[in-house]
Amino acid sequence: MQIPSRFDPIRPVEPEELQQALQELLTDSQFLQALAYLPEGFAAGSGATDLMQKAAACRSNLDFQRTFIYPLVQGLTDKLTNGVTINADAITDKAQPHTFISNHRDIVLDSAFLAKLLIDAGFPDTVEIAIGDNLLVYPWIERLVRVNKAFIVRRGLSLRETLAASKLLSEYMHFAVGTKGQNIWIAQREGRAKDSNDRTQEALLKMMCMGGNGTPAQQIAALGLTPLSISYEYDPCDYLKAQEFQQKRDNPAFKKSRQDDLDNMRTGIFGFKGRVHYHICQPLNHWIEAHGTLPKADFFTALACHIDNEIHRNYKIFPTNLIALDLLEGTKHPGYTDQERTQFENYIDERIGLVSLPNPDESFLRQCILTMYANPARNHLLGYEVIRL
């Protein structure tokens, strides 16, 4: 397929470029060193020669994912979760491309689990993944994610550069869905919601319209926008997120380093997650058709609210969420045992003990971690905001 050259700085590797990209990746000394740090049982092969032989058989990015990424994610599922499940009943035509817009919990695994689950659920392809360039801290990471069907979201730009980059990103998304026939995954906001209070950024929805044709409703509809609710029983990065909250409280100018991003990625990948559930919500085109005549500003507000409601409504609430909410609010919801409550309280104490600050504020850290687990239950149980049209 002929890909417009203007997309070259951000697009994934295409199948005809795959072998060269894989050769560059598998001869990158930093990448091979990174493989050596994989925990026992997660190695992708017995060595560089074995990897090269497997790579030579890959003719598409999906082949690469099936050969390398799927077994790795299956290993993570088996060793570090109590099961990863999906409800995809809302999708009646699996061959129709969708733009899945979801809440964001884990830097790497939100999209990795989704790709595996789509394969397991019988979808003919996985997803192209929107990833911020702030995470591409080494050249081999950028090579790897582009082979793995990622397209790049540029961050930290001037206002003029941001507008140009947003337009290019939107144009690529429309090209990926409309011409390439690819599914897309994108988070509902820039970065993770560290307090798990999931809210869609209207600016993201407006960006999606910069590269399409017609009214905002027609531009959004062309992307096949579909909310996706992602639920983790345990967040391996919960103590790191709480630590960052205190760092920002104590020093408003605090910014994470490259090493902080790497620590978050590694902890998220190789930490225990308990049960994980994905729920694909109803595609939005019927809703968009019914509300597309709203004034532009009202349309984006209503659309963001509707996406939030769908994600909150379909979030799988675990005992950890209810216990955290009760500990914060002094309430008592059904759905868990006294033993589960005691175990969770002990878990919180253990997580606070992992915080590596010279002056940990244990009360503040406890409040932060409990809030992370409580917010999904709070959003789910308090009902859904009604937009009066």
pLDDT, position 42:
65
The class of domain 5-236+271-316 in CATH terms is: alpha beta
Of 42-51, 194-203, 352-361, the one with minimum mean pLDDT is: 42-51
pLDDT of residue 383: 64
Task: For residue range 15-31, list pLDDT tens digits in order.
Answer: 999 999 999 999 999 99
Distance between CA atoms of 151 and 132, rounded to whole angstroms?
9
pLDDT at 51: 86
Residue 41 has pLDDT above 80, yes or no: no
Q: What was the pLDDT predicted at 279?
A: 98
Q: Which residue has the higher pLDDT, 33 or 342?
A: 342
What pLDDT does residue 289 have?
95
Q: What percent of the chain has pLDDT over 90?
A: 87
Check pLDDT > 90 for residue 273: yes
Average pLDDT, the chain: 94
pLDDT grade for 385, boundaries at 50, 70 and 90: very low
With helix as H, strand as E and coil as C, how does the chain read? CCCCHHHCCCCCCCHHHHHHHHHHHHCCHHHHHHHHCCCCCCCCCCCHHHHHHHHHCCCCHHHHHHHHHHHHHHHHHHHHCCCEEEECCCCCCCCCCCEEEECCCCCCHHHHHHHHHHHHCCCCCCCEEEEEHHHCCCHHHHHHHHHCCEEEECCCCCHHHHHHHHHHHHHHHHHHHHCCCCCEEEECCCCCCCCCCCCCCHHHHHHHCCCCCCCHHHHHHCCCEEEEEEEECCCCCHHHHHHHHHHHHHCCCCCCCHHHHHHHHHHHHHCCCCCEEEEECCCCHHHHHHHCCCCHHHHHHHHHHHHHHHHHHCCCCCHHHHHHHHHHHCCCCCCCCHHHHHHHHHHHHHHHHCCCCCCCCHHHHHHHHHHHHHHHHHHHHCCCCCCCC
| pLDDT tens per residue, range 45-101 | 556 678 889 999 999 999 999 999 999 999 999 999 999 999 999 999 999 999 999
pLDDT given for residue 37 in this prediction: 76
Higher-scoring residue by pLDDT: 382, 385: 382
For the chain, what are the domain ranges? 5-236+271-316, 237-270+317-389
